[in-house]
Amino acid sequence: MDDFRLRVERVKTKLIENPESVLNHFKLDYVNKGNRLVLRCPVHSGADNESAVSVMLDGYVGCWSCFTRFCNDEFGGDLLGLVWGILTNRQNKKPLFGEVLTYCEENIGIGEATAGDTDFVRLCNTLNKEIDEHKILGKREQLIKTLQIPSPYFLAKGFTPEILTKFSIGDCHNPQKPMHNRAVCPVFDETGQFVIGCAGRRIPEKDYLKKWKFSYGLKVGSYFYGLWEAKQRILETSRAIVVEGQADVVWLHENGYNETVGLFGANLTDNQLKLLNKLGIMNLVILMDGDEAGREASDRIKTKTQDYFNTRIIHLSEGQDPDDLDPQELNSLL
């Protein structure tokens, strides 16, 4: 491994030892949410959303995302990329990558390298780090006892009892549970036997409730919704269809497209790209919502994946979502 690569990995490793020190260095205001730091985006101009950026403190420590303009896609999703973006904003020009390294070494308390910092095995483990295992919350059969399955909410939306039962989707009526008054889409590990989190869709249409709520600690940027059901089909066909939401996944599976997985949103993360590569896919179909955000997301994902896969975008009509499509429309598109 050459000296420059060692230098890069050393700086990255040192930065994630204390993410807060990076934000403090730039005198940024943030809120510590326990598992992440939340703040305005310090990279793009005119940022006014107080929670536009999250910097992770557990799991993928130091990984950051800008949820308004996805600045992390341009500069990289680690803390070194965040520093690069901040310097670009404050200097009104994009510095060279080497200049960013030097800035970190001279200004953010990294100091001189030691023999321990450049240990070959340690750095190789960082470079080749596999996606972290997800924390197991319990067995599948334990969770389904707490839900009304199949979900009356999703039944009213036109989903069949069979597909909802297959995905163990049910309504939560227990006021002591975090997902109370939500239609719960459990997230299982790749075996389908263990729960690693939940996504809950609000049942009462109250503006003060977030439309979707994710269970604490669920690493949505490191997994796909429905992968436990889709994995075998993906391996057989070398194709994956990616959609935004949980309902989209279930609808496509109901119509026979079992290679469909969900992004938990409209952004494909580096870890999700890594997971697609592990699955050995050759063809990727991008099927986002038919709005401006969905079209922009499709373009970003294609740019990010086209060097790895045969990537195809399917554009939907304005206001149309994948779960709005009837079987004939799906067949003609897919």
**What is the tens place of the pLDDT at every residue in 183-214?**
999 999 999 999 999 999 999 876 667 889 99
Q: What is the DSSP letter of 20?
A: H
| Domain 3-125 in this protein, CATH class | alpha beta
CATH class of segment(s) 227-333: alpha beta
Other CB atoms within 10 A of residue 211 CB: 11
The sign of the dihedral angle between the CA atoms of 204, 208, 214, 216 is: negative
- pLDDT of 76-134, one tens digit each? 888 999 999 999 999 999 999 889 989 998 888 665 555 444 443 444 444 444 445 67
Sorted by where each begins, the domain ranges of the chain are 3-125, 138-218, 227-333
Identical fold for domains 3-125 and 138-218, yes or no, is: no
In the prediction, which pLDDT does 127 show? 41
Q: pLDDT at position 257, please?
A: 96
Highest mean pLDDT of the ranges 8-17, 27-36, 181-190, 302-311: 181-190
**Is the CB of residue 164 less than 8 Å from the CB of residue 250?**
yes
Residue 110 pLDDT? 65
Distance between CA atoms of residues 159 and 154, nearest Å: 6
Q: Give me the phi and psi of 199, to 5 degrees please.
A: -120, 125
CB 24 within 8 A of CB 32: no
pLDDT in tens, 118-169: 443 444 444 444 445 677 888 999 898 999 999 999 999 999 999 999 999 9
C-beta separation of 40 from 29 below 8 A: yes
Helix, coil or strand: residue 208: coil
pLDDT for the residue numbered 119: 44
Q: pTM of this prediction?
A: 0.62
Tell me the pairing of strands 239-243 and 260-262. Answer: parallel
pLDDT band for position 43 (50/70/90)?
very high
Segment 206-259, tens digit of pLDDT = 666 788 999 888 888 899 999 999 999 999 999 999 999 999 999 999 999 999
pLDDT of res. 28:
92
How high is the pLDDT of residue 39?
92
Say what the pLDDT of residue 48 is: 77
Condensed to tens digits (0 to 9), the pLDDT of residues 6-20 reads 778 788 888 888 888
* DSSP, res 2: -
* 137 φψ region: left (φ > 0), alpha (ψ -120 to 50), beta (else): alpha
Per CATH, the number for 138-218 is: 3.90.980.10
**Whole-number Å distance between alpha carbons of 15 and 264:** 28
